[in-house]
Amino acid sequence: MTALDQINRESFQRFRLRIGINHGPVIAGVIGAQKPQYDIWSNTVNVASRMDSCGVMGRVQVTENTAKVLMAAGYSCDCRGPTHVKGKGILTTYFVKTPFDERI
């Protein structure tokens, strides 16, 4: 049983997740005088957000460059293929393989 399965069982909810990941440079800082908030900005952040929004429930979607880094570190990735990414056009994206993929 995964942590998400346990949360769903105990809360009587049906939470589902999709995750988008990108890597690269970011700018980080605190904004706001009355209610300071820490935030990050950059194209890297925008693309990571798009990896999430055009992703698939239960899967981790990454950019091609991020997949290369992950595979070099020993992770397995499946090519999703050309994917329309809002504001970016067509990008080749990958799904990171996890032990839970068979359940999807």
Active site residues: 50, 86
CA separation, residue 61 to residues 43, 50, 66, 77, 101 (Å): 17, 10, 10, 9, 12
- A 10 A CB-CB count for 84 gives 10
Which residues 6+ apart lie within 8 Å of 26 measured at CB?
Answer: 40, 41, 42, 44, 45
